[in-house]
Every structure is written in C-alpha cells, then in structure tokens.
Amino acid sequence: MKNNIKAILYSSQAPSPAQEEKFRAFVSAKYGEDAEFSFVKDETIKKGFRLTAGSETYDWTDEGRLNQLKKEVLSLYSKDNVIPLIRETVKNWTPKALAEETGTVISVGDGIAKVTGLTKATYGEILIFESGVRGMVLNLKENELGCILFDDDNFVTEGSVVKRTERVAGIPVGDNFLGRIVNSLGSPIDGEGEIISSSYRPVESAAPSIVERQQVRVPMETGILAIDSMFPIGRGQRELIIGDRQTGKTAIALDTIINQKGKNCICIYVAIGAKASSVSSVVNMLKKHGAMDYTCVLAATASDPAPLLYIAPYAGCALAEYFMYQGKDVLIVYDDLSKHAVAYRSLSLLLGRSPGREAYPGDVFYLHSRLLERSARLSDELGGGSITALPVVETQSGDVAAYIPTNIISITDGQIFLESDLFYSGQRPAVNIGLSVSRVGGDAQLKAMKKSVKGLRLDLAQYREMKVFTQFASDLDEATRRQLAYGKGLMRLLCQKQASPYSLSEQIVIITMAQAHVLDGIRYEDIERFIKELLSRFHKNNESLLRRILSTGLLSDADKQLIIDESRKAASDFK
C-alpha cells in the first residue's frame, strides 16, 4: 500500500543534484520510500526554501527562521530574570528543521472557514491564515475543522494555507486597561493609543472549584433603594437583570458601577451587540460621574461580526479574573446575553450543527453556565478576590418563561425583573417586587438593613393586591384608604433618579422613617422633596449616627427610635 505523500520543495532556485538527493533521502526516511518528491519555483522566496509534505511544512526561509526564534524568545517570558535568558538564547540560537502542521481552507463565508489537514488542532486553538487573519477552532469533525474568523473573511480564500499557533484564544490583560475602551480581542478602540499589558489570559478557563470558594457575605451595594433593601447582592454573586426592551436594565447596571466609586471595586462593562452610539452614551455617563477611572468597557458592537460577539463576554471575564486573582473585587456587567445567544446560534447553524429548540444548538445552556460559574468569591488562601456578575437578558412581552431567560435564571443566584407597565407608569426603577428575588438574600446584607426592612416586602405585596381589588370600588372605608395611601407612599420612595445612589445608612433612614408611617402627613407630590430635605438634615445634625451604622453594621433600638423621632420632627417642620 502506497503512502501517497507528496513532498514539494518551493524555492526561487532549483536545487543542485547533490541537494536534491539530500531532500529525497530526507523525505524517504521521514515519510517512506513511496513518498513522491517534486520542485516548484517560487520567486517570492528570496532566500532559503519551504518544503511541504502532507499537512506538515518545513520553513527554512528567512521569515520562517525568524518566526522560530520569536517563538523561542516568547516562551521565556513566563520565567524570572528574562532579560539575561533572552540574550543567551539569541547569542547561542541555531535554527532547526522543525515540522509545522499546516492545513488548507476548503470553504469560507459569513465569518466561518472550514479547514482540512490540521489533524492535531484542538478546540479553542487560534489559527493563522495565510493573509494574517486570525481564527479560532469551534467545531471538530473527523476530516475538517470549523473555524470562526476574527477579521474580515474577504482576505481568506479557498485553497489558502492555515497554520496552528498551539495557543488557545486569549486576550492581553493588565491594570492599564482601566479607563479604556477595547474590543473583544483586547485591542483599544478609543483612539488613545496602545495599551501596555501585564500578561495574557485565555478567554476560556475553568471556574474555581468548591474548595477554592467561600460563602458570599460581603454586600455589593448598588445604591438603589429598591434593590439593596429587598434583593441584596453580595460580592461573588450572579444576579440577573431581566425585562423587556427599554425598561431600564442598563440603567441599573450603570448605577451600580457608579456607586462603586471609592469602594475599592473594579468594574468591567461588556457591551454585546449594542449600537456604537449606545456604547458612547454609556462611556460618557461613566466619565461624567468619574467612574471610568476604575472601569474598562469591552465593546462588541452590532456592526462587529458574530465571532467577536460570541467571544466578548468570555474576554471580559478573563480580564476580570486577572484582577480577582490579585485579591481584588470585580463587578462585571454582560449587556446582554440574549444577543450573545443569538450570535452563537448563527455561528452554530453556519458550522452545520444540528438545531434544537428555537434553532439554538443543544449546548446553549453550557454556553452561559461555563461563563457565569466563573463568578465567585475566592477563599482567603487564594487572596479573597471576587467577581460579581450582573448578566442582562431581554424578554419579549415580559415572557420570563422563554428558552434563554429560563436557562439563565436557573444558572444565576436571583433576578431583578423590570416590568414594562411599572416603567411606563413612572415607577423607575421598574422593579417587580413579586417576580424579583435574591437567593443569597440576607447573607449579604448588613444586620442594620435586615432589621429596618423587616415587613417591607409584605407591606408592598398587600398594597398591590389591595390596589387590584379596589380599583373599581368607589366607596372605601378609612382603614383601606390609609393602607392604600401608605402603600402608594412606599412605592414613591422606591422611585429613584438615575445616577443618584443612596448610601446604606441613608437607605436605612428612609425605610425606618417610612415604616413608622411618617409619610402619612406628607402629600404624594412632595415625598421626593421631603426625602431630600430629610437626608440633608441627618447629614447636618446626625452625621455620627450615619457613620455608626456603616461602621458597625448594626441598628440598635435606640438608634432606630432616634431616626423615627428626627423624621417626625422633620415632617412637622416640612412646608
């Protein structure tokens, strides 16, 4: 049986008979006596030669030998005292005849290339095409690979050569990324010059194991009264923000980022499939409130190809992990994962994978679970750093039971559901008290907050039920009227302007005051102004009380009564 291996020598000059004899002997020894040998003249090769045999290439051109030296030098960067090692390597380096596995493009289009010949390539490995375009292996078949392209596929042609890099997809990471806007590959797109990175992290990595984690106990304050009081988020938690289009999902995420100012928390905002103008608006808001100093924006806009949208959240998570393993707390926003799932569906269908429910591939659950499971609070032995994830998902007509929303709800530790009817009625943030939940709950809440909000959700639930039953009634008894007025006042308290966060001590004052029925004598239209004056009064006259609550995390009965008494005085003085 013949080997059918064809060895081709490319060079600008034909080999001499002695050289040809050596080449033939090398090919026969390496690939068997039946291997064929031939010469092809290539004027582009100025010096040296290139020998291809099957899927292997021996590159003895100037460029090939230089690349060989580059690889050897780059391999030293993970070691200490790298400069002396590089000098020694360059001084004593001699090129070697190394076989480099190469493949051939058999089809290309829509950001997908199908490649044959790379039998040793692995899932997630980066490939380099002849034109310099980069791609990543996403599909493995017996005789071909499916590769997604990160650059314009117009530069990739059928029959062109593909090379392995033996590196998994990753991005450069480092402290210099803070305050910058980058794309899914970590390249700056803000026009402010190159970013000097500290290291390189793979975009896909294993989530911390159970023994490497610790319980979520430290609050991640959003500054939003409706969330911090009833659906607390802890550092290391994954809390889903879900709702219809244009109901304030991004606003909640941005408010949370703005509220981290001065709290030693690094923020990463990942925009997936958003318009470039929307990303610009987000950046401008963060700059306006001084939040870009501790934030990195990673943008895969609607004009980017699907492969960049697919890899964006994993790249953002890799950057977050760089800071987490330094012992720092990180907040990452994925806005939004429904567009991410659509991009992955497009890639999967183009790769020829079998469609399942709603044409999504069978592994669409794993798509997001392997991303969100990387959010954790590390054990003290590993530095105690954390990644808190706020994934955003868009629903259609409030359908939380749809395929992608239910998948992500089952992965996360709770959800903030934003209701369209509430939003359009002026209740903003439009948090639905009944469908929202935090599965970490009071574990990530100060004892003072837990004590002050006791009974709040029940009061709001009773108000909503009573409002439904009494909306057609014209004659109500006095007790019912008081209950409705009290509930309406509570709902007004939960209205909050964007980028106007409350501190935890301010929230405790507001809720304690409200549950003592101090608002009963305040007109509905004046509640916002009263709250503003009340907090100003406490900062002026009772600053020590606010500091004590924050420092101890406790609310004594005496302090609670002090808040109620001061609030009643403020209500009586209010005009």
Catalytic site residue 482? no
**What one-character-per-residue DSSP string does 395-452 give?**
-STT-TTSHHHHHHHHHSSEEEEEPHHHHHTT-SS-B-TTT-EESSGGGGS-HHHHHH
* Secondary structure (H, E, C), 173-200: ECHHHCCCEECCCCCECCCCCCCCCCEE
Lookup result for tokens 């943008």: 299
The Cα–Cα gap between 72 and 7 comes to 27
Minimal CA–CA distance to 461: which of 485, 441, 432?
432
Residues 137/172, Cβ–Cβ less than 8 Å: no
β-pair type (240-243, 414-418): parallel
- Tokens 């100037």 correspond to 62
Closest CA to 419 of 428, 411, 410: 428
Its sign, for the CA torsion 175, 179, 185, 191, is negative
- Specify the pairing of strand 329-335 against strand 265-272: parallel
Choosing from 24, 134, 370, 439, the catalytic residue is 439
How far from 141 is each of 115, 121, 127, 144, CA to CA, in Å?
Answer: 10, 11, 16, 5
CB 335 within 8 A of CB 269: yes
**Mode of pairing for the β-strands spanning 199-202 and 170-173:** antiparallel
Catalytic residues: 439
